[in-house]
Chain A
Amino acid sequence: GAGVSQSPSNKVTEKGKDVELRCDPISGHTALYWYRQSLGQGLEFLIYFQGNSAPDKSGLPSDRFSAERTGGSVSTLTIQRTQQEDSAVYLCASSLVAGGRNTGELFFGEGSRLTVL
């Protein structure tokens, strides 16, 4: 597709359930990022992929959060045993790495809004 695509756009779940959020980056973009945007907060970095590997997982808030990327394309963010504090908009972004150096121009999806009841 032309842009970064995320699904679902909205997800309401009950506390304790697992959720999966999907991101389809721009074709050819090798870097993929997950951020979380909570009400009144900035963007909180979660994890970054270069290809299929994740050099930086330092932002994942707990071991309930995991992410994978397969085929250097689609990524899935999984939250196990969701808690109310997980409610947020989860934003995915991708970027084209030029010459092995990431100039940081990120292209964002519209986000997946997660509500945990």
Chain B
Amino acid sequence: GEDVEQSLFLSVREGDSSVINCTYTDSSSTYLYWYKQEPGAGLQLLTYIFSNMDMKQDQRLTVLLNKKDKHLSLRIADTQTGDSAIYFCAELGGTGRRALTFGSGTRLQVQP
């Protein structure tokens, strides 16, 4: 079945760039997503990319997709303490299940 993997933890200093990586196995993935979960809150969609794109930029966020390697990354420029949260990578397969498969989440800690 589909699998999505992420590293569990990332620590950066305020003002630095953060890069969160994700790999997935489903070659038929149509959309890939980054969700953010702040403490005690539900997940919120940050951004998504269609599988025929290799990059998407939205203000401080840059998503890179390497479809050949099934690798997705999220870069946050000028990371702020308010960016501290858990970031989930997710994919929507092109066949079968019409529900997102999520990774285990990367906890981003931003040091002042």
Tell whether A and B belong to one assembly: yes
Seen from chain A, the residues whose Cβ lies within 8 Å of a Cβ on chain B are 4, 31, 33, 35, 40-43, 45, 48, 50, 55-56, 58, 91, 93, 102-111
Inter-subunit contact B97/A48 (CB<8 Å): yes
- Chain A: CB-nearest residue to B2: A45
The one of B42, B44, B90, B97 that contacts A91, using a Cβ cutoff of 8 Å: B42
Q: Which residues of A contact B97 (CB under 8 A)?
A: 45, 48, 56, 58
Given A45-B97, A105-B48, A111-B42, CB of A35 within 8 Å of CB of B33: no
Q: Which residues of B contact A108 (CB under 8 A)?
A: 35, 42-44
- Say yes or no for B24: interface residue by CB 8 A criterion: no
Inter-subunit contact B42/A43 (CB<8 Å): no
Q: Which residues of B contact A50 (CB under 8 A)?
A: 98
Seen from chain B, the residues whose Cβ lies within 8 Å of a Cβ on chain A are 4, 31, 33, 35, 40-45, 48, 88, 90, 92, 97-105
Quote the shortest CB–CB distance from B105 to chain A (angstroms).
Answer: 6
| Measured CA separation A103–B97 after assembly (Å) | 13
| Measured CA separation A42–B33 after assembly (Å) | 14
Quote the shortest CB–CB distance from A59 to chain B (angstroms).
Answer: 8
5 A-B pairs with CB atoms under 8 Å apart are A42-B4, A43-B90, A43-B102, A93-B42, A106-B100
Q: Which residues of B contact A105 (CB under 8 A)?
A: 33, 45, 48
Given A104-B31, A105-B48, CB of A110 within 8 Å of CB of B100: no
Q: Which residues of A contact B90 (CB under 8 A)?
A: 43, 104
